[in-house]
Structure 1
Amino acid sequence: MLHLRMIVPNEATPAVTELIESTVGTTHLVVLSGAARSPAGDVVLCDVAREAGDELLKGLRELRIDQVGSIAVDDIGLTLSERAVTAEKEAPGEPADAVIWEQLTGATHEESTLSVTYVAFMALATMIAACGVVLDNAVLIVGAMAVGPEFGPLAGVCTAMVRRAPRLAARSLIALLVGFAVAIAATTLFSLGMDAFDLFSRDRLDAERPNTSFIWQPDPFSFVVALLAGAAGVLSLTSAKSGALVGVAISVTTVPAGANAAVALAYGDLGQMWGSIEQLLLNLLGIMLAGVLTLYGQKLLWRTQRGRWHRPSRKGR
Structure 2
Amino acid sequence: MRLVQLTVPTGKRQAILEALDERKIDYVVTDEKSSREYTAVVYFPLPDAAVEPVLDEIKETGIDEDAYTVVVDAETVVSRRFQALREEYEDGNVGSDRISRQELQAEADDLTPSLPVYVVMTVISAIVATAGLLLDSPAVVVGSMVIAPLIGPALGASVGTVVDDEELFTESVTYQIIGVVLAIGAAAIFALTARTTNIIPPGLVLSNVGEISERLAPDLLSLIIALGAGVAGVVSIATGTSVALVGVMIAAALIPPAGVAGISLAWGQPTAAIGATVLVLVNLLSVNLAGLLTLWYAGYRPENLFSLGETEQRVRKRIIGLALVVLLFAVFLGGISYASYETATFEQDVNDEVQQVLSQERYEAYELLEFEVVLDTDYPFRNPQRVIVTIGGPPDASAPELADTLDERINAHADEPVRVQVRYIEILER
TM-score range, shorter chain: 0.7 to 0.9
- Map of 1:114-125 to 2, 5 A cutoff? 114-125=114-125
Per the alignment, do residues 75 and 189 of structure 1 end up closer, same or farther by CA in structure 2, a change over 3 Å counting?
Answer: same
Moved more, 133-142 or 187-196: 187-196
Per the alignment, do residues 216 and 200 of structure 1 end up closer, same or farther by CA in structure 2, a change over 3 Å counting?
Answer: same
2:227–2:286 contact (8 Å) kept in structure 1: yes
Q: Distance in 2 between matches of 1:212 and 1:247?
A: 23
Q: Distance in 1 between matches of 2:139 and 2:285?
A: 25
In the alignment, what sits opposite 1:13? 13
2:136–2:209 contact (8 Å) kept in structure 1: yes
Q: CA offset at residue 175 of structure 1?
A: 1.0
Per the alignment, do residues 31 and 201 of structure 1 end up closer, same or farther by CA in structure 2, a change over 3 Å counting?
Answer: same
In the alignment, what sits opposite 2:159? 159
Q: CA offset at residue 66 of structure 1?
A: 4.1
Moved more, 131-140 or 93-102: 93-102
Moved more, 254-263 or 79-88: 79-88
Q: Distance in 1 between matches of 2:173 and 2:298?
A: 23
Q: CA offset at residue 22 of structure 1?
A: 2.4
Larger relative contact order (Cα-Cα within 8 Å, sequence gap ≥ 6): 1
Moved more, 158-167 or 208-217: 208-217
TM-score (norm 2): 0.64
In the alignment, what sits opposite 2:40? 42
- Aligned-CA RMSD value: 2.3
Q: Deviations over 1:88-140 (max 9, x none)?
A: 22324248623311111111123235421111111111111101111111111
Q: Deviations over 1:194-243 (max 9, x none)?
A: 23432235633524122442223221111111111211111011111215
1:153–1:172 contact (8 Å) kept in structure 2: yes
Q: What 5-or-longer segments of structure 2 have no aligned partner?
A: 301-430
Q: Is 1:178 matched with 2:181?
A: no
- Map of 1:1-317 to 2, 5 A cutoff? 1-23=1-23, 26-27=25-26, 29-37=27-35, 40-94=38-92, 97-200=97-200, 203-204=203-204, 206-243=206-243, 245-247=244-246, 249-250=248-249, 252-299=252-299
Higher helix share: 1
1:122–1:149 contact (8 Å) kept in structure 2: yes
Q: Secondary structure at the match of 1:8?
A: strand
Q: Distance in 2 between matches of 1:122 and 1:68?
A: 35
Structure exhibiting the larger radius of gyration computed from Cα positions = 2
> Percent identity, aligned pairs only?
24
1:3–1:76 contact (8 Å) kept in structure 2: yes
Per the alignment, do residues 202 and 275 of structure 1 end up closer, same or farther by CA in structure 2, a change over 3 Å counting?
Answer: farther
User: What is the number of equivalent residue pairs in this alignment?
Assistant: 297
1:97–1:298 contact (8 Å) kept in structure 2: no
Q: Secondary structure at the match of 1:69?
A: coil
In the alignment, what sits opposite 1:311? none
Q: What 5-or-longer segments of structure 1 have no aligned partner?
A: 301-317
Q: CA offset at residue 16 of structure 1?
A: 1.4
Per the alignment, do residues 92 and 194 of structure 1 end up closer, same or farther by CA in structure 2, a change over 3 Å counting?
Answer: same
